[in-house]
A and B are shown apart, each in its own frame.
Chain A
Amino acid sequence: MSGIAVPGRGAAGLFTQWNRRAVFGWVGLLLLALVPVASHATDTPYLINAMTRFVIYGLAAVSLDLVLGYGALISFGHAMFFGLGGYVVAIVTFHAVEAGPLFGWAGSTQALVVWPIALACCALLGWGVGYLALRTSGVQFIMITLAFGQMVYFILVSLQVYGGDDGLMMSQRSQLPGIDLADPVSFYYVSLAVLALWTLFCVKLVNSRYGMVLQALRQSERRAVNLGVAPMPYRLSAFVISAVGTGMAGILWANYAELVTPDMAAWTKSGELMAIVILGGVGTLLGPIAGAAVFLGLEQALSAWTEHWMFIMGPILVLVVLAGKHGLFGHWLGKRHG
């Protein structure tokens, strides 16, 4: 792929678009890896916290882009997986540390036990929601995913045992053998490693035969079906994979904030995630990560400046849409499709 020059794109053929993405990705990863060093050198410890948030949102954004950009499935309920992943970790930890057994099981604080359970829950929910929602398409798909997201939100609100509206504090972070997640720098590197590996996996996935079929379905369902492709398994599996990635972001968030709240699954969170992906460029995988940086950076800068930051953020989102469909980085990263 990388040897093929793409005509009409790129700075005088210096980089093909895939080369440019690779450079963007690896340089980005290198810079992110240096953050704790920079934070230490400049004596700005809050930098690590800010960057951890960004990395976690980047993970959710890459996952959402998988369905949004490559499956053309506009999931407006994706925050439900973010919330579920976080809640499963917090609830299991709560039972292990403070409350009694959960369904006869003592609970656990081991990441290698709890995290897979949380991911499995997200996969299961993703499968169920995807199975029902994928029976429809277009605007109905948007509304149904939104409605399921709200359902999860209301269920989380009603869990009085686990804090209801106020959410549930985590008395401690999950434990990984050999790595102290309570240490901000270690936690940052673990999050960054997850983001890097997941992004690499997603890039490989969309360029595999599977990914090509998924994109063919997006471009013309009728053509793909006539070639003998059954749409449902491809779309459903993409939805489940995306749910798992978003759930992982939720797991990391719960550990980062040491608190889970129903807001993690609220529809506004789904809207934010979607805004991040569109800001960065739909269907570019790396763009949404940059979109997360821009969105969180804007949020931070605007909210530091005025409490009415949404008064400015709202119109910015509108302008991004009116300006075009490539987002801030989509054009530069070279969307592979129109």
Chain B
Amino acid sequence: MALLFEQLLNGLQFGAMLFMLASGLTLIFGIMGVINLTHGSFYMVGAYCGAFALAHTNSFAAGAVAGLAGAALYGLLVEFTVIRRLYKRDHLYQVLATFGLILFTNEAVSMIFGRQPPMVEIPDFLQGTVPLAPGFQYPLMRLAFIVVGALVALGLWFLINRTRVGMLVRAGADDREMVDALGIDIQKLYSVVFGLGALLCGLAGVMAAPLLAVEIGMGERVLITTFVVIVIGGVGSVRGAMAGALLVGMVDSLGRAYFPQLLGAMLSPEVADMLAAGLVSASVYVLMALVLIFRPKGLLG
């Protein structure tokens, strides 16, 4: 029982991280129709900048600021130099250009910060565990992740549903030309959304740095899972990103915990071990395939 509870919370934590990445990616696609593979690189840049600042100042606050600022600034730079010129182009060319940017970013980060992956300690005030129920302890860091994820979701909901910028974002996602024709500078709106998306990537990167390895290529791994989230939820929908992120987070963490046991009960140990490792990694893709069979446009698309 305690194991199940812990796995559910782990799923929630992974889901919170995926949501931070998926919401920005899906908004950018919804408004400008740009498929941006560089999104994962912003997450990596955020994690590296955060780790670098933390190592040099020993202050988690400084690390957080550096991570957020680094990711957001890099995002704006990429938007300004490349993405801006791509939004009327075919997806094919967007994919190639942003693929090129990934190669560049990975190499640039390893040249600036070195090949040795930095170690990031959990900050003092987030160390330790919290008793959530009698006999059940949960790491404070992961709990903080869930809380921050919930705050981000609330903030985005408020921004999109209760503010003028949000109104324009919603309108832009539905009909870009119409918003443009109404005299709104859609390019500026787009830059704001892009910067916000990159900022959220930075936040995810800073938060993930103490929990996961900060290394070159971390962005691509999570980017592809983020794509799965968006496809499951429905491309262009923030609510879909939320649903997809939670679903993928849960399936991944429950799969990791229970698949090996489940297979072990049915098959011989060697076969079960081999299959389980593959199935756990592949489980979210199987989930995606299942969703698509019944709803080709995603759950909320």
B164 contact set on A, CB distance < 8 A: none
B227 pairs with A147, CB closer than 8 A: yes
B285 pairs with A313, CB closer than 8 A: no
- Interface size for A (C-beta < 8 A) is 44
B106 contact set on A, CB distance < 8 A: 310
- With A136-B297, A160-B274, A311-B107 in contact, do A325 and B93 touch (Cβ < 8 Å)? yes
Q: Is A4 an interface residue (CB 8 A)?
A: no
Task: Looking at the assembled complex, report how far the CB atom of B40 sits from the nearest CB atom of chain A, in whole angstroms.
Answer: 11
B92 pairs with A68, CB closer than 8 A: yes
Task: Please tell me which stretch of B146-154, B206-214, B275-283 contacts chain A, meaning at least 4 of its Cβ atoms lie within 8 angstroms of it.
Answer: B275-283
B93 pairs with A278, CB closer than 8 A: yes
- With A135-B292, A154-B282, A321-B93 in contact, do A159 and B274 touch (Cβ < 8 Å)? yes
A321 pairs with B100, CB closer than 8 A: yes
Across the interface, B100 reaches (CB within 8 A) one of A136, A143, A158, A316, namely A316
Q: Is B293 an interface residue (CB 8 A)?
A: yes
Q: Is A322 an interface residue (CB 8 A)?
A: yes
Q: Is A32 an interface residue (CB 8 A)?
A: no
A136 pairs with B296, CB closer than 8 A: yes
| A325 CA to B282 CA, complexed, in Å | 35
* 8 A Cβ contacts from B112-159 to A: none
B288 pairs with A147, CB closer than 8 A: yes
Task: Looking at the assembled complex, report how far the CB atom of A291 sits from the nearest CB atom of chain B, in whole angstroms.
Answer: 11
B285 pairs with A148, CB closer than 8 A: yes
| A318 CA to B38 CA, complexed, in Å | 12
A311 contact set on B, CB distance < 8 A: 103-104, 107-108, 111
| A267 CA to B281 CA, complexed, in Å | 15
- With A150-B224, A159-B278 in contact, do A313 and B93 touch (Cβ < 8 Å)? no
A139 pairs with B288, CB closer than 8 A: no
B33 contact set on A, CB distance < 8 A: 139
| A160 CA to B277 CA, complexed, in Å | 9
A150 contact set on B, CB distance < 8 A: 224, 285
A151 pairs with B285, CB closer than 8 A: yes
B278 contact set on A, CB distance < 8 A: 154-155, 157-159
A59-82 near B? 1/0 per residue, CB < 8 Å: 000000000100000101000000
Q: Is A320 an interface residue (CB 8 A)?
A: yes
A74 pairs with B91, CB closer than 8 A: yes
B96 pairs with A315, CB closer than 8 A: no
B289 pairs with A132, CB closer than 8 A: yes
B298 contact set on A, CB distance < 8 A: 140
B289 pairs with A314, CB closer than 8 A: no
Q: Is B54 an interface residue (CB 8 A)?
A: no
| A142 CA to B36 CA, complexed, in Å | 12
Closest to B94 in A: A321
Closest to B290 in A: A132
B102 contact set on A, CB distance < 8 A: 271, 314
A81-98 near B? 1/0 per residue, CB < 8 Å: 000000000000000000
B288 contact set on A, CB distance < 8 A: 144, 147
Task: Looking at the assembled complex, report how far the CB atom of A230 sits from the nearest CB atom of chain B, in whole angstroms.
Answer: 17
Task: Looking at the assembled complex, report how far the CB atom of B231 sits from the nearest CB atom of chain A, in whole angstroms.
Answer: 5
A321 contact set on B, CB distance < 8 A: 86, 89, 93, 96-97, 100
* 8 A Cβ contacts from B60-116 to A: 82, 85-86, 89-93, 95-97, 99-108, 110-111
B103 pairs with A136, CB closer than 8 A: no
Q: Is B230 an interface residue (CB 8 A)?
A: yes
Which of B89, B100, B275 has most chain A Cβ within 10 Å? B100
A317 contact set on B, CB distance < 8 A: 96-97, 99-100, 103
| A87 CA to B107 CA, complexed, in Å | 30
Task: Looking at the assembled complex, report how far the CB atom of A252 sits from the nearest CB atom of chain B, in whole angstroms.
Answer: 25
B29 pairs with A139, CB closer than 8 A: yes
Q: Is A308 an interface residue (CB 8 A)?
A: yes
A139 pairs with B111, CB closer than 8 A: no
* 8 A Cβ contacts from A296-338 to B: 308, 310-311, 313-318, 320-322, 325
Across the interface, B97 reaches (CB within 8 A) one of A76, A310, A318, namely A318
Closest to A272 in B: B99
Q: Is B17 an interface residue (CB 8 A)?
A: no
A240-282 near B? 1/0 per residue, CB < 8 Å: 0000000000000000000000000001100100110010001
B99 pairs with A275, CB closer than 8 A: yes
B100 contact set on A, CB distance < 8 A: 275, 313-318, 321
Which of B86, B103, B297 has most chain A Cβ within 10 Å? B103
A313 pairs with B292, CB closer than 8 A: no
Q: Is B44 an interface residue (CB 8 A)?
A: no
A314 pairs with B285, CB closer than 8 A: no
Q: Is A213 an interface residue (CB 8 A)?
A: no
* 8 A Cβ contacts from B211-256 to A: 220, 224, 227-228, 230-231, 235
| A325 CA to B91 CA, complexed, in Å | 12
Q: Is A197 an interface residue (CB 8 A)?
A: no
B231 contact set on A, CB distance < 8 A: 140, 143-144, 147
| A282 CA to B33 CA, complexed, in Å | 21
Closest to B281 in A: A154
14 cross-chain CB contacts under 8 A:
A74-B95, A132-B289, A142-B91, A147-B231, A147-B285, A154-B278, A157-B278, A158-B274, A159-B274, A160-B274, A271-B96, A278-B96, A311-B111, A318-B104
Please give the residue numbers on chain A whose beta carbons come within 8 Å of chain B beta carbons, in ascending order. Answer: 68, 74, 76, 132, 135-136, 138-140, 142-144, 146-148, 150-151, 154-155, 157-161, 267-268, 271, 274-275, 278, 282, 308, 310-311, 313-318, 320-322, 325
Besides the known contacts A135-B296, A267-B224, 20 further A-B residue pairs in the complex with CB atoms under 8 A apart? A74-B92, A136-B296, A138-B91, A140-B298, A143-B230, A144-B292, A147-B228, A151-B282, A155-B281, A157-B278, A158-B275, A278-B96, A311-B104, A311-B107, A313-B100, A317-B96, A318-B101, A321-B86, A321-B89, A321-B93
Which 6 residue pairs spanning A and B have beta carbons closest together?
Answer: A317-B100, A314-B104, A158-B278, A314-B103, A154-B281, A311-B107
